[in-house]
Structure 1
Amino acid sequence: MDNKIEIFKNEQFGEVRTILEGEKVLFCAADVAKALGYTNPNKAVNDHCRAITKRSTPISGKVQSINFIPEGDVYRLIIRSKLPAAEKFELWVFDEVIPTIRKTGGYMTDSLLERIQKEPAVIVEFAQALILEKNRVKALECELNTAKPKADYYDAFINPDDCTNIRTTAKELKIPERKFVQFLLREKYLFRSPSGQLLPYNKDSNAGLFIVRDFVTYCYTGSQTYFTPKGKEVIRMKFQKKYAEELLPKMAR
């Protein structure tokens, strides 16, 4: 495996070493902890990170084993940091560095600059990829800003303890889970994201039916859809109207 290091430089946070493995970006754990102001970086990494992995990398002419962490662990270090600029570090890493790496295979590092000097056409490819990624991020930001007022309202007035995920909701309504999911997709309550997650459509008719919670595990981040009490009742009535004989015979008892 080619563990070629790319070094990202920031005037405020110094240098952060990274490795790109396929679509996965790994960060030097010590560099991240130092950038976030931890007085004991090694202890911070051991206390807060769940997916530490060692990679052999050349340092000062010698191959050494260094601890690297995935995005999820970077986020854990960020939220536990007391550094006032931790949020700015988060924006730099997640809004600029990672998207650029994923689209171009690297950042504007010394190695890329050297390649551009030898092959000027490379800068066109890099610029096009960067523009596409920035446009995508901008579109997502607009979508999130539109949805945020509604999300804030429902998060404030809906008790998460009263909400259930898709599997539990299907059991409560006595509907086979597979048919339940098919119905939700067909009736445009939910859609399946490129990563396979079932998420609600952002439309007025869905208001108050669902809440979406983000989660972070040791190797995965994502979102999960939950049904509110109102959502369960609306779906139950919809099923009764359309599929009473086929799917809900027990609800008539």
Structure 2
Amino acid sequence: MAFSLSAEAAAFIVPSGNISPAYLQSVPTAAIPFLPSKTKVAHLLPERKSIMDNKIEVFKNEQFGEIRTALIENEPWFVAVDVCRALEIGNSSQAISRLDADEKMITLISNEGNKRGNPNMTVVNEPGLYTLILSSRKPEAKAFKRWITHDVIPMIRKTGGYMTDSLLERIQKEPAVIVEFAQALILEKNRVKALECELNTAKPKADYYDAFINPDDCTNIRTTAKELKIPERKFVQFLLKEKYLFRSPSGQLLPYNKDSNAGLFIVRDFVTFCYTGSQTYFTPKGKEVVRMKFQKKCGEELLPKIAR
């Protein structure tokens, strides 16, 4: 089923030349051979959110030059060629082709009145950006990542844009834009307030950990069994039976996530040459609680109370 392009889309596809946008509007889209069928293109249809709706914002940095970006569906996207240039990635096409499909897309962008050049640009999201950073051999890649993550992205998320000269000019020309900024700031303030409430809830647990749990005082299951003078096999069976630990599908012994286990264990991830996993450690509190429980359940006299 054929349908016609909007005036906005027609004007962007043919910004200049002998074919008028009005004529192009009358042509069914099925007859336009260059419209990609499988490529994700933003804002050819007016109801789609697009970079044109948000405007391109340019980040300027003395060390890395200019990076064009825009907020699409509340997520920051970066023009891929600008990122590759800043990171001195020689073959940008090859680097971009290696990105996953959900890390990039092709879209139309505004060239600030400049009608030369191809308006179709590849943009990358945050995961795609980090993949490009990791592929760069430039020593300054770490500094570039810090600039993006500490300055650019937080500003985008807080205000819906980066306060550049072009954005200030836009506000002067379109006073209504300041309302968008105010709404974005209110939303960000509410989000920060919610995060602060979560942080205040978690703070007592974090303070307890910092004050009483020294990782150097924690021991794994085998060492704890030796300290308590309990055969390791019997100790593990006790921990499983009393629901302190469970055995994961990969065979690892991990603590149940329940209130009664709070402060008894810590879990550390580890990586070896060919294996990645997690290992459970007893805290001093955990050793004492389990010692008392074992002695009560099994009726065996164990080591004296463990010093904390």
| TM-score class, shorter | 0.5 to 0.7
Report Cα offsets for 1:196-236 as digits up to 9, x if no partner. xxxxxxx9x366424399xxxxxxxxxxxx742447xx7xx
State the 4+ residue runs in structure 1 displaced beyond 6 angstroms: none
2: distance between equivalents of 1:100 and 1:211? Answer: 33
Report Cα offsets for 1:120-176 as digits up to 9, x if no partner. xx59959x78x97xx99xx99xx9xx99xxxxx89xxx9xxxxxxxx972785899x
Structure 1's 229 and 103: CA in aligned 2 closer, same or farther, altered over 3 A? same
How many residues are paired up? Answer: 181
Structure 1's 116 and 52: CA in aligned 2 closer, same or farther, altered over 3 A? closer
Structure 1's 174 and 40: CA in aligned 2 closer, same or farther, altered over 3 A? closer
Larger relative CO (CA 8 A, sep 6+): 1 or 2?
1
Does the 8 A contact of 1:49 with 1:77 survive in 2? Answer: no
More strand by share: 1
1: distance between equivalents of 2:267 and 2:98? Answer: 38
Identity of aligned residues (%): 30
Report Cα offsets for 1:43-81 as digits up to 9, x if no partner. 222235553210011332267211111111111111121
Structure 1's 172 and 35: CA in aligned 2 closer, same or farther, altered over 3 A? same
Matched, 1:54 2:102: no
Structure 1's 111 and 85: CA in aligned 2 closer, same or farther, altered over 3 A? same
Structure 2 unaligned runs (5+)? Answer: 1-47, 210-214, 221-245, 272-276, 294-308
Select 1:169's aligned residue among 217, 233, 248. 248
Question: Cα RMSD over matched residues?
Answer: 4.7
Larger Rg: 2
Does the 8 A contact of 1:7 with 1:15 survive in 2? Answer: yes
Instruction: Give the letter aligned to residue 92 of structure 2.
Output: P
Instruction: Give the letter aligned to residue 53 of structure 1.
Output: M
Matched, 1:107 2:162: yes
TM-score by length of 2: 0.45
More helix by share: 1
1: distance between equivalents of 2:62 and 2:104? Answer: 27
**SS of 1:58 mapped into structure 2:** coil
Instruction: Give the letter aligned to residue 187 of structure 1.
Output: D
Structure 1's 171 and 42: CA in aligned 2 closer, same or farther, altered over 3 A? closer
TM-score by length of 1: 0.53
Does the 8 A contact of 1:53 with 1:68 survive in 2? Answer: yes
2: distance between equivalents of 1:111 and 1:212? Answer: 48
Structure 1 unaligned runs (5+)? Answer: 148-152, 159-166, 190-202, 214-225, 242-253
Does the 8 A contact of 1:169 with 1:227 survive in 2? Answer: no
